[in-house]
């Protein structure tokens, strides 16, 4: 896969730190496998099986992170207009049905987090918000019905 992945600087560093930790963990796992081998019969060796499973997970996750980090572009470094909602924007919206306000950041799918109010640009809401400016009203179709929003403010972190 060669598509760029747009990440915030904070999330890029989080992935980089996780990758470094996985590299350190791989040495520990290799020692656990060797210790389990020394116990003899591997066919009924739970420690060996667990260590091999941990090794496979570690290697797969490291490969995934290495690919993402290689394709990563830092959002803050990109020349993205600030007057419309695009990736990296903080958009303050008013729900026109409940009058509640909320601020969301549009991010790549890798960084999306409901708990942190980070919406994927590929989600139904994220797609609907893209390209809209302050003062615009939107009716966004979601599985639960239609969400009616007004864009109150757009800013870049």
pLDDT digits (tens, 9 = 90+) for 10-60: 899 999 999 999 999 999 999 888 887 887 766 777 888 888 899 999 999
User: Which of 76, 101, 133 is the C-terminal boundary of a domain?
Assistant: 76
**What's the pLDDT tens digit per position in 87-133?**
989 999 999 999 999 999 999 999 999 999 999 999 999 999 999 99
| 3-state SS class at 92 | strand
- Residue 68, domain extent: 5-76
Q: Indicate whether 7 pLDDT > 60.
A: yes
Same domain, 134 and 148: yes
User: Which of 51, 76, 101 is the C-terminal boundary of a domain?
Assistant: 76
Same domain, 38 and 97: no
Output the pLDDT for position 100: 96
Beta-bridge mates of residue 146: 141
Q: How confident is the model at residue 2 (pLDDT cuts 50, 70, 90)?
A: low
How many residues are given for the chain?
A: 157
Based on C-alpha coordinates, what's the Rg of the chain?
Answer: 22
User: Which of 76, 96, 122 is the C-terminal boundary of a domain?
Assistant: 76
Say how many domains are in the chain: 2
Of 5 and 42, the structure prediction assigns the larger pLDDT to 5
This prediction's pTM: 0.72
Between CA 53 and CA 152 the distance in angstroms is: 49
Q: Which of 128, 91, 88, 84 is nearest to 108 (CA)?
A: 88
- Cα dist. 85→82, 117, 136 in Å? 7, 15, 11
Task: Please report, for the domain that includes residue 29, its CATH number.
Answer: 1.10.287.180
C-beta of residue 46 within 8 angstroms of C-beta of residue 28: no
**What's the pLDDT tens digit per position in 50-65?**
888 999 999 999 999 9
Same domain, 72 and 83: no
């Amino acid at each position: 896969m060669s598509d760029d992945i747009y990440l915030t600087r904070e999330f890029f560093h989080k992935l980089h730190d996780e990758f470094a930790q996985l590299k350190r963990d791989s040495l520990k796992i290799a020692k656990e496998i060797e210790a389990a081998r020394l116990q003899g019969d591997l066919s009924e060796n739970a420690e060996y099986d667990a260590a091999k499973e941990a090794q496979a997970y570690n290697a797969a996750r490291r490969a995934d992170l290495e690919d993402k980090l290689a394709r990563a572009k830092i959002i803050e470094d990109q020349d993205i207009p600030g007057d419309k909602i695009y990736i990296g924007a903080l958009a303050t919206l008013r729900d026109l049905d409940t009058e509640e306000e909320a601020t969301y950041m549009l991010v790549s799918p890798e960084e999306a987090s409901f708990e942190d109010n980070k919406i994927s640009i590929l989600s139904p809401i994220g797609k609907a918000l893209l390209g809209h400016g302050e003062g615009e009203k939107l009716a966004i179709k979601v599985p639960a019905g239609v969400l009616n929003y007004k864009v109150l403010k757009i800013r870049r972190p």
